[in-house]
Amino acid sequence: MRKKLGVITIIILSIIPLVSWSLMEPLKYRFFNLVGTMTSLGQMAGILGLTLFSINLILSARIKVLEKFFQGLSNVYSYHKVIGQVSFGLLLLHPLFLLVSYLSVSFKVALKFLTPFNDISVTYGSISLSLMIVLMALTLYVKLKYHIWKMSHKFMVLVFVFALLHSFFISSDISRDLFLRIYLLSLGFLGLVLSFYQAFLSKWLNNNKIYTLKKVNTLTPQVVELELETGNKKIKFVPGQFVFIRFLFGIISQETHPFSISSGSNSDGLQIVIKSLGDFTEKLKSLEPGIKVAIEGPYGKFSHLNIENKNQVWIAGGVGITPFLSMARSLNNSEYNIDLYYSVNNLEEAVLIDELKEIEISKKIRLIPWISSDKGYLTAKAISEMTSDLNSRDILLCGPSPFMLGIQKQLLDLKISKKNIHFENFKFI
């Protein structure tokens, strides 16, 4: 029930305006004929689309309380993505239903509806829908660079402003019902305030901790480890969590990026292992010590400490070893019984493998390196053969999305309970 609290809240917030709308007039009159049916469907699509758009702006604000509702920021962003698509679909259907309604009356009435500059409220709606179509097309079908992608998302706030203006200037059920008007205005205003906060104020007001870059360790040609020294205040984190980092000076842009923490929870500083996947991470190798770094967080619920069962299997794919490094470095309880599978294409990609071997001895975990170039891809069947009591363990996964989803499906095929499989996919930047 606790894991579904966020979803239940979204459903309730979405139902309230529809219930209010349905009570304004008997439904038998709203769906009496084609004109009434199309008009009513258009109104419902508009009201629900605007509600979900408001909720989506709230979800994008990265406020800590949302983690408790959705059990992790990665889940927040997963729902953010889905709700955004649903909202877009509903707001697209809104004028289409109304167009069918007007065509049922006369072509002239429909043509007037399609001529936005005849009515300022319709103009607002046309601008909002046009901008949204362009931005959604860019998001779904064009591979943009990160900073351009992020800038395009900020324009979604402008889309919402025009949608809100359209809703409150046009003559409709929203303008006629005080409760519906106040409800949608309040939810929309909250979404706008939080969006403004996230876009322009969070970097100063979000209690960012300032660290100093101590050293950049090149672990492989593609992977580096940043060693950061505590500055104004040390963050408190649970092993397995991630942070958003922002470089305040230097050759790297000041955009925020999420990365998993690799240091142990008792470490004086902060360590972050990063694989070079683009321009941002490639430039990390050229950073000089002394650069100031703003740390926002921590976020996430992915940790061995959040699981009651101390018999666990950790499965890492590539740089997905990062949160497990943090967990392994933080282990101080001999009650844990852990098998750590570390899947890499070749041995040269196995970062910090020597340290993991030392941890294996000192903290009594079982390390199983899996070299896919020699053995083929790691499978759940292979894991079950090497960990005979797999059914009695909780399983933690981290790695590329296809890797995690593939292993999860295979585990489910082996009748492993879904509630015993844990992973956090924070690829939402």
User: Tens digits of per-residue pLDDT, 312-342?
Assistant: 999 999 889 999 999 999 988 678 899 999 9
Q: Over the stretch 126-142, which tens digit does the pLDDT of each residue have?
A: 888 888 888 877 776 76
| Domains 209-299 and 304-423 belong to one CATH topology | no
- Could you tell me the pTM of the whole model? 0.80
Average pLDDT over residues 64-92: 87
Q: How confident is the model at residue 116 (pLDDT cuts 50, 70, 90)?
A: low
What does pLDDT average to over the chain? 86
Top-confidence residue, 382 or 154: 382
Residue 171 has pLDDT above 70, yes or no: yes
Q: Give me 364's structure tokens.
A: 């009594």
pLDDT band at 348 (very low <50, low <70, confident <90, very high): confident
Taking CA atoms, 107 is separated from 38, 101, 102, 123, 182, in Å, by 16, 10, 7, 20, 35
Is pLDDT at 428 greater than 60 in this prediction? no
Looking only at the bridges linking them, the beta strands covering 292-299 and 209-220 are antiparallel
Domain ranges for the chain, please list them.
Answer: 2-204, 209-299, 304-423
pLDDT tens-digit map of 250-279: 666 667 788 899 998 888 889 998 887 666
CB contact set of 428 (below 8 Å; sequence gap of 6+) = 74, 77, 78, 80, 81, 258
- Residue 23 pLDDT > 80: yes
pLDDT, residue 307, reads 92
Residue 429 banded pLDDT, cuts 50, 70, 90? very low
Q: Where are the alpha helices (DSSP H) in 285-352?
A: 322-330
The yes or no reply on domain 209-299 and CATH 1.10.150.120 is no
Q: Domain 304-423 is of which CATH architecture?
A: 3-Layer(aba) Sandwich (3.40)
> Which of 54-68, 376-390, 415-429: highest mean pLDDT?
376-390
pLDDT value at residue 406 = 93
Task: Dump pLDDT digits (tens) for 32-70.
Answer: 898 889 999 999 999 999 999 999 999 988 887 888 888
